[in-house]
């Protein structure tokens, strides 16, 4: 079977406390419901949730969402270590791809959705990022920045598509709900594409525009 693994990396630092983390925790059950109840999507995808603050933790190991009752909740507190997030993601992908292949699956290049509302607090985060992106397991990275996130940093993190909160009249919590909606749509559309095409030439389906966000060019220096 052809499998497309999705990884969601969510900022759980102290600045996410309150309405921001609440918005994501309200959105995750909707994501779970939409994917787990669609056999075509659930069969073709796997989902992993990683929360990062001072450390990074795998809150939900890679799973068929139809096999679990709910996605674990996020909690805010601590600093914002991008480096730990990227190192944890790489370890997960290495282990998960090997396990899926051992089960006889054909594995597409993983997709990572990265979300932060601030700037990295670890000065050496680039080292962890380089370990990830120079690996043969480097995923397609879609990065979203809300609140105090810097456009240049979000653009640097992404290698497929990047978005930064555009309308300051819209709260970060409202923008995060749009982020979660975009994530869900991307998983559903990409899985449907795999099921329809039945080959290795499918195109990852990620929205080019997301309400409340500006698309950031990855081609500008």
- Residue pair 97/107 in contact by the 8 Å Cβ criterion: yes
Q: Where are the beta strands (DSSP E) in 91-170?
A: 106-107, 111-116, 140-145, 161-165
pTM: 0.95
First to last CA, the chain: 40
Give 164-201 pLDDT, tens digit per residue: 998 777 789 999 999 999 999 999 999 888 877 555 56
Tokens of 216: 């950031």
Report the alpha-carbon distance of residue 130 to residue 100 in Å, rounded.
25
Tell me the mean pLDDT per 10 residues along the chain, length 221.
96 96 96 94 96 98 97 97 98 98 96 97 97 96 96 96 86 92 92 70 82 86 49
Report the alpha-carbon distance of residue 213 to residue 206 in Å, rounded.
14
């Amino acid at each position: 079977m052809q499998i497309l693994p999705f990884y969601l990396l969510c900022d759980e630092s102290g600045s996410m406390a309150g309405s921001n983390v609440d918005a994501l925790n309200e959105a995750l059950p909707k994501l779970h419901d939409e994917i787990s109840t669609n056999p075509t999507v659930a069969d073709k995808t796997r989902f992993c949730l990683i929360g990062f603050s001072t450390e990074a933790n795998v809150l939900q190991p890679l799973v068929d969402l139809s096999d679990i009752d709910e996605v674990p909740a996020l909690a805010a507190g601590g600093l914002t270590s991008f480096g730990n997030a990227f190192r944890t993601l790489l370890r997960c992908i290495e282990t998960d791809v090997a396990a899926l292949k051992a089960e006889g699956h054909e594995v597409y290049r993983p997709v990572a959705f990265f979300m932060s509302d601030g700037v990295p607090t670890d000065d050496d985060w680039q080292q962890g990022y380089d370990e990830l992106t120079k690996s043969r397991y480097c995923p397609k990275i879609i990065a979203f920045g809300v609140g105090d996130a810097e456009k240049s940093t979000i653009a640097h993190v992404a290698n497929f598509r990047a978005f930064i909160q555009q309308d300051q009249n819209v709260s970060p919590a409202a923008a995060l709900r749009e982020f979660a909606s975009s994530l869900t749509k991307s998983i559903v559309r990409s899985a449907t594409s795999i099921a329809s095409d039945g080959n290795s030439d499918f195109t990852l389906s990620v929205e080019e525009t997301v309400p409340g966000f500006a698309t950031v060019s990855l081609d500008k220096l």
